């Protein structure tokens, strides 16, 4: 979709829901996910690439069911996500299990045919017998030198295997009669350039070679930068220097240089789902404070859009408002100054009762939603033809009655 078509699309879907009242709410659609998938398929056409849906990024049941109905696989990193995928009808052989400390919960799920990437020596040691009995397709996640904590770039993350651990894990698995087939790494989200992947691919394959592993599958995780999203305070989109054509060339070269590789796996959660939804708010009040206009809404950062802490998304008014733009802070309804959804010039004609659409709300919004003094928002799903309410706004009764009676 072009930007103008995207705006018209969401306005058209949101308008009837707004006439019924009941903000704030999330509105999601399969159409932008289908568009994103088509773009990826076009980029990597002719290559043995499999695209996995990251459940943690958008744990939305109708999305998982829709994706699975296409015969496509999902990736999970927790027990709840595994149970959610199974509840949505995803067959075990279409589920990839990643994440740390799986040996503390995966033994309760002896499912045949799972794909499992081991993250630590303890996981490999304790899960190997079950992996063999259940016929899991096993892999190993490595910690490449290119992986680091984004908040502290000098510090490595807690994930994956070091070179020394990798050799020990491969020996453990082989003694158990398991041949690890997948080599996996995941850097982080919003990778700005293909060169970052190029380094990591070379590092991961060098670690495998030093450990005597000849993988059939290279799983490079996710991290493609979502379109249009900007880092807070930076007007340049995160994906400005990223090239999907460059990624295609990298994968082609990797497959050519390593003929034992039969398949590449991609787990691009944010890139696929970020565009798939909007957060719809209503302005409740307006205040002027020392040259700054404040629009107080019934939803915001603290409750619904934690990513606004470090990302700037487009904000579209409904109805359309024009006129002089003034310095404006859009806030949520909670008693926290932190509850700031956006700060930018907006039309001075915006007023209480108007709606605002916070765009690209399909990645990490639902999983980070909170109940800070408020209930969870309603959720609507557009299946390509019709909009359905798939979750009601949380009431006091549904929230309060989860607690056991006082002893």
121 and 236 share a domain?
A: yes
Which residue ranges in the chain fall short of pLDDT 70? Answer: none
Token readout for 384 is: 């390509």
**pLDDT tens digits, one per residue of 217-271:** 999 999 999 999 899 889 999 999 999 999 999 999 999 999 999 999 999 999 9
255 and 319 share a domain?
A: no
Residue carrying the six token digits 């950062």: 301
- Tell me the backbone φ, ψ of residue 32, rounded to 5 degrees: -65, -30
- Tell me the backbone φ, ψ of residue 160, rounded to 5 degrees: 80, 180
What is the domain range of residue 315?
A: 275-392
Does residue 11 sit within a domain? no
Q: What's the pLDDT at 2?
A: 82
- CA triplet 215, 54, 74: central angle to 5 degrees? 65
At 320, which CATH number? 2.40.37.10
381 and 234 share a domain?
A: no
260 and 286 share a domain?
A: no
Q: How many domains does the chain have?
A: 2
Q: Give the largest CA-CA distance in the chain.
A: 72
247 and 299 share a domain?
A: no
- For the chain, the distance separating the N- and C-terminal CA atoms, rounded to the nearest angstrom, is 56
At 257, which CATH number? 3.20.20.10
Does residue 15 sit within a domain? no
**pLDDT tens digits, one per residue of 355-402:** 999 999 999 999 999 999 999 999 999 999 999 999 999 999 999 999
Does residue 14 sit within a domain? no
Token readout for 118 is: 């081991």
125 and 147 share a domain?
A: yes
Q: What's the pLDDT at 407?
A: 77
Between β-strands 277-289 and 355-358, what pairing exists: parallel, antiparallel or unpaired?
antiparallel
185 and 236 share a domain?
A: yes
Q: What's the pLDDT at 143?
A: 98
- CA triplet 262, 263, 268: central angle to 5 degrees? 170
Query: Which residues pair with residue 333 across a beta bridge?
Result: none
87 and 104 share a domain?
A: yes
Does residue 340 sit within a domain? yes
249 and 362 share a domain?
A: no
Does residue 333 sit within a domain? yes
Does residue 370 sit within a domain? yes
Q: What's the pLDDT at 406?
A: 78
* Boundary-marking domain end, from 244, 273, 302: 273
88 and 190 share a domain?
A: yes
123 and 264 share a domain?
A: yes
CA 399 to CA 375: how far, in whole Å? 7
144 and 232 share a domain?
A: yes
Does residue 310 sit within a domain? yes
CA 254 to CA 387: how far, in whole Å? 43
Does residue 3 sit within a domain? no
* Boundary-marking domain end, from 273, 303, 333: 273
- CA triplet 137, 141, 144: central angle to 5 degrees? 150
* Boundary-marking domain end, from 273, 308, 332: 273
């Amino acid at each position: 979709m072009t930007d103008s078509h995207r705006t018209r699309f969401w306005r058209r879907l949101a308008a009837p829901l707004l006439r019924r009242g009941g903000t704030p709410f999330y509105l999601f659609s399969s159409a932008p996910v289908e568009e994103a998938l088509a773009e990826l398929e076009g980029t990597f056409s002719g290559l043995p690439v499999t695209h996995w849906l990251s459940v943690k990024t958008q744990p939305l049941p109708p999305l998982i069911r829709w994706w699975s109905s296409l015969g496509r696989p999902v990736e999970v990193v927790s027990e709840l996500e595994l149970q959610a995928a199974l509840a949505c009808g995803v067959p075990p052989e279409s589920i990839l299990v990643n994440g740390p400390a799986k040996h503390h919960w995966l033994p309760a799920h002896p499912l045949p045919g799972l794909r499992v990437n081991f993250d630590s020596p303890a996981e490999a040691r304790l899960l190997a017998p079950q992996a063999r009995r259940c016929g899991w397709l096993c892999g190993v996640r490595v910690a490449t030198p290119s992986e680091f904590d984004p908040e502290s770039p000098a510090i490595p993350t807690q994930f994956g295997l070091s070179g020394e651990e990798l050799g020990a894990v491969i020996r453990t698995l082989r003694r158990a009669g398991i041949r690890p087939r997948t080599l996996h790494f995941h850097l982080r989200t919003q990778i700005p350039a293909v060169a970052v992947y190029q380094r990591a691919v070379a590092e991961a394959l060098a670690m495998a070679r030093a450990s005597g592993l000849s993988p059939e599958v290279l799983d490079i995780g996710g991290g493609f930068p979502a379109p249009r999203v900007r880092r807070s305070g930076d007007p340049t989109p995160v994906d400005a220097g990223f090239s999907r054509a460059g990624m295609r060339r990298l994968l082609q070269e990797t497959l050519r240089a390593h003929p034992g590789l039969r398949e590449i796996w991609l787990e691009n959660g944010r890139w696929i789902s970020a565009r798939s939804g909007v957060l719809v708010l209503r302005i409740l009040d307006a205040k002027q404070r020392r040259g700054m206009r404040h629009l107080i809404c019934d939803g915001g950062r603290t409750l619904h859009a934690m990513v606004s802490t470090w990302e700037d998304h487009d904000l579209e008014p409904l109805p359309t408002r024009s006129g002089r733009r003034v310095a404006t802070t859009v806030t949520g309804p909670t008693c926290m100054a932190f509850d700031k959804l956006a700060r930018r010039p907006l039309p001075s004609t915006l007023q209480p009762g108007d709606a605002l659409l916070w765009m690209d709300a399909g990645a990490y919004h639902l999983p980070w939603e909170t109940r800070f003094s408020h209930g969870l928002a309603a959720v609507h799903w557009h299946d390509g033809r019709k909009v359905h309410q798939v979750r009601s706004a949380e009431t006091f009764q549904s929230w309060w009655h989860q607690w056991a009676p006082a002893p």
